[in-house]
Amino acid sequence: DGGITQSPKYLFRKEGQNVTLSCEQNLNHDAMYWYRQDPGQGLRLIYYSQIVNDFQKGDIAEGYSVSREKKESFPLTVTSAQKNPTAFYLCASKSGGDSTDTQYFGPGTRLTVL
Amino acid sequence: EDKVVQSPLSLVVHEGDTVTLNCSYEVTNFRSLLWYKQEKKAPTFLFMLTSSGIEKKSGRLSSILDKKELSSILNITATQTGDSAIYLCAVGPGGGATNKLIFGTGTLLAVQP
Q: Would you give per-residue pLDDT tens digits along chain A (114 residues)?
A: 669 999 999 999 888 899 999 999 999 999 999 999 998 788 999 999 999 999 999 999 999 999 999 999 999 999 988 889 999 999 999 987 767 889 999 999 999 998
Residues of B in contact with A95 (CB under 8 A): none
Handedness of CA A76, A77, A82, A87 (dihedral sign): positive
Buried b (16+ CB within 10 A) or exposed e, A1-12: eeebebeeeebe
CB-based contacts of B5, cutoff 8 Å, min separation 6 = B23, B24, B25, B104, B105
Asked if B98's CB is within 8 angstroms of A45's CB, the reply is no
pLDDT for res B96: 61
pLDDT for res B19: 98
Residues of B in contact with A94 (CB under 8 A): 99
Q: Is the pLDDT of residue B90 over 90?
A: yes
DSSP B81: G
pLDDT for res A100: 80
Asked if A105's CB is within 8 angstroms of B44's CB, the reply is yes
Asked if A106's CB is within 8 angstroms of B42's CB, the reply is yes
Residue among A33, A35, A18 at smallest CA distance from A81: A18
Residue among A41, A81, A84, A88 at smallest CA distance from A64: A81
Mean pLDDT of all residues belonging to chain B: 93
The partner residue sitting opposite A45, judged by closest CB among B98, B100, B105, is B100
Q: Is the pLDDT of residue B97 over 70?
A: no
Q: What is the pLDDT of residues B32-83, one digit of tens each?
A: 999 999 998 889 999 999 988 789 999 999 999 998 999 999 999 999 999 9
Distance CA A57, CA B113 (A): 44
pLDDT for res A1: 60
Instruction: Please state, for a pLDDT cut of 70, what percent of chain B lies above it.
Output: 96
Tell how strand B102-103 and strand B85-92 pair up: antiparallel
Distance CA A65, CA B17 (A): 45
Half-sphere exposure of residue A72: CA atoms within 13 angstroms, side-chain side: 7
pLDDT for res B21: 98
**Residue B83: φ, ψ to 5°:** -85, -10
In chain B, the residue whose alpha carbon lies closest to the alpha carbon of A105 is B42
Residues of B in contact with A4 (CB under 8 A): 42
Residue among A57, A38, A37 at smallest CA distance from A47: A57
pLDDT for res B95: 63
In chain B, the residue whose alpha carbon lies closest to the alpha carbon of A97 is B99
Average pLDDT over residues B4-19: 97
Q: Which residue has the higher pLDDT, B87 or A97?
A: B87
